[in-house]
């Protein structure tokens, strides 16, 4: 017997008992015997959430009114979708067996990085009171000082700035550029054209004031080779005493070029210093932290900058950015962030610093989850015939996985699946939009706990050829796996 709710009318009525009382009709409807559709639906529900999603498409209340032909068609559809999901999950399991050696490689890197971070925490003798926030000017904020000493040790730098007042990776890089370059100085990008938002800082066109070029900075860039690699002979030729700073973007950005490994950064720094020993080498480290077992300062970079809502925040930091490097350069940048003579000694943290400490501690493991998801995505989509960059068994220098699609419609569908499988805003419908810092419409799938966090599983896509989706992050491999299975079904 089936009853729904506690309707008192059913108790007062002497109507004959039926399997299921529906509505207030004088003649109680006799519920039909379970059909093939009921059986399949119940079977799917028992098999767990992915299968239950298919079952949820049925409407139990409408089944009695369906004609026999509709029921047969609906049953066939359910069986077809269930079989598709079973095939997808089988493909996922087979891919995981294939890529297990690659998983072992990145797990070993994560262990080495986790050990380095842990040892830095141990040497700093972190205590509970280091987590407490500060107010006002922020004088004597010991927790801030200890956190920055840990960052300096982890990244093998002399000094560090780790501040919630740095709102993004672009802001951290901008602080370096504006603090250290003056009118007449030369800035050379040796990794091709920088990321979209950074180009607006350098040369925002006639409508954007206060860019580097408008302040008299001479900007040049060395194009990449046809293979998407830094052109070392051209870099050597472009360097002269006029160049005050060289900029290297480690990540691929919105391009299909490979990310630049730390070992390649070592060679580039050697080339730069060989031609101009006083030239400052700055590395945009966004998306690259803890992907390899070394960081750019360990191979001679003078400055490294990035965002705390990417890799080093571990998915826990609620915002902020970091800059690490030579002590004299960090001091000059701190004067730009606050005021000359004040520098690092000021800047209240306001919020509980526990999230910054714990996020850094978790970062090597969280980056591992993201990398495993990226490898799985590449392996499965390569098998399905899509162009991926990097391929699943390639050496990785950032957490971004690019997939080339055929059209803007497919691009939007890909991102919509990622959004629909997110823990937040899963019911949001995406569309391309014009966002600050981008010259073309962009779609961003980001059902994240921290707004804009790209160490959480997210996906960006500019609406331009070759219509590439750039997927990054993932707090857990299980979430990555679930999203990838749903992407395969949808695409």
pLDDT of residue 76: 66
For 207-258, the three-class secondary structure string (H helix, E strand, C coil) is CCCCCCHHHCCEEEECCCCCCCCCCHHHHHHHCCCCEEEEEEECCCCCCCCC
Fold of the domain spanning 133-361:
3.40.640
Whether residue 466 has a cis bond before it, omega within 30° of 0: yes
Give me Rg for the CA atoms of the chain.
28
What whole-number distance in Å separates Cα of residue 178 and Cα of residue 102?
41
Confidence bin at 72 (pLDDT 50/70/90):
low
Tell me: pLDDT of 351 over 60: yes
* 59 vs 450, more confident: 450
pLDDT of residue 75: 62
CATH of the domain spanning 99-108+362-490, picked from 3.40.50.2020, 3.40.30.10, 3.90.1150.60, 3.30.360.10: 3.90.1150.60
Per-domain residue ranges of the chain? 34-86, 99-108+362-490, 133-361
Tell me: pLDDT of 379 over 60: yes
pLDDT of residue 350: 84
Confidence bin at 417 (pLDDT 50/70/90):
very high
What average pLDDT is seen over the chain? 87
Tell me: pLDDT of 30 over 80: no
Average pLDDT over residues 4-32: 43
Average pLDDT over residues 228-257: 95
According to DSSP, residue 366 is labeled H
pLDDT of residue 120: 98
What whole-number distance in Å separates Cα of residue 278 and Cα of residue 241?
9
Confidence bin at 253 (pLDDT 50/70/90):
confident
Smallest CA-to-CA distance from 411 within 229, 262, 254 is with 254
How far are the Cα atoms of 22, 25, 212 from residue 7, in angstroms, in the given order?
10, 14, 72
pLDDT of residue 81: 75
Smallest CA-to-CA distance from 220 within 252, 200, 247 is with 247
Tell me: pLDDT of 364 over 70: yes
Tell me: pLDDT of 312 over 50: yes
Confidence bin at 332 (pLDDT 50/70/90):
very high
Average pLDDT over residues 435-451: 90
């Amino acid at each position: 017997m089936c009853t729904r709710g506690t309707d008192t009318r059913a108790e007062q009525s002497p109507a004959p008992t039926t399997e299921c009382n529906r509505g207030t009709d004088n003649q109680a409807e006799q519920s039909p015997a379970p059909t093939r559709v009921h059986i399949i639906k119940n079977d799917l529900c028992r098999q767990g959430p992915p299968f239950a999603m298919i079952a949820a498409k049925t409407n139990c209340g409408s089944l009695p009114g369906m004609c026999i032909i509709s029921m047969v068609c609906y049953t066939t559809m359910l069986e077809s979708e269930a079989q598709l999901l079973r095939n997808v999950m089988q493909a996922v399991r087979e891919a995981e067996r294939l890529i297990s050696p690659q998983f072992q490689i990145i797990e070993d890197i994560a262990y080495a990085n986790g050990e380095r971070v842990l040892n830095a925490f141990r040497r700093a003798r972190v205590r509970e009171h280091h987590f407490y926030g500060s107010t006002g000017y922020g004088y004597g904020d010991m927790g801030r000082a200890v956190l920055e000493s840990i960052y300096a040790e982890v990244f093998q730098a002399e000094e560090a700035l780790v501040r919630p007042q740095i709102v993004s990776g672009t802001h951290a890089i901008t602080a370096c550029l504006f603090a250290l370059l003056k009118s007449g100085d030369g800035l050379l990008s040796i990794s091709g054209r920088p990321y979209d938002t950074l180009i607006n800082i350098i040369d925002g066109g006639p409508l954007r004031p206060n860019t580097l070029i408008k302040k008299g900075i001479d900007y040049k860039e060395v194009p990449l080779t046809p293979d998407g690699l830094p052109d070392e002979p051209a870099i050597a030729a472009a360097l002269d005493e006029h160049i005050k700073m060289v900029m290297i973007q480690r990540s691929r950005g919105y391009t299909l070029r490979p990310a630049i490994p730390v070992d390649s950064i070592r060679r580039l720094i050697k080339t730069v210093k060989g031609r101009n020993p006083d030239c400052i080498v700055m590395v945009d480290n966004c998306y690259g932290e803890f992907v390899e077992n070394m960081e750019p300062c360990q191979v001679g970079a003078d400055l490294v900058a990035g965002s705390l809502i990417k890799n080093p925040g571990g998915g826990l930091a609620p915002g902020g950015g970091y800059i690490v490097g030579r002590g004299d350069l960090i001091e000059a940048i701190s004067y730009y962030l606050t005021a000359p003579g004040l520098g690092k000694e000021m800047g209240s943290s306001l919020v509980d610093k526990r999230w910054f400490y714990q996020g850094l501690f978790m970062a090597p493991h969280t980056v591992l989850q993201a990398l495993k998801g990226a490898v799985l995505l590449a392996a499965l989509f390569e098998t399905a015939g899509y162009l991926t960059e990097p391929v699943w068994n390639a050496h990785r220098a950032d957490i971004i996985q690019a997939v080339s699609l055929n059209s803007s419609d497919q691009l939007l569908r890909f991102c919509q699946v990622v959004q629909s499988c997110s823990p937040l805003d899963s019911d949001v419908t995406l569309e391309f939009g014009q966002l600050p810092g981008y010259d073309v419409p962009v779609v961003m799938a980001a059902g994240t706990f921290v707004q804009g966090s790209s160490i959480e599983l997210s996906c960006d896509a500019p609406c331009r050829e070759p219509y590439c989706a750039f997927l990054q992050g993932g707090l857990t491999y299980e979430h990555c796996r679930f999203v990838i299975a749903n992407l395969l079904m949808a695409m």
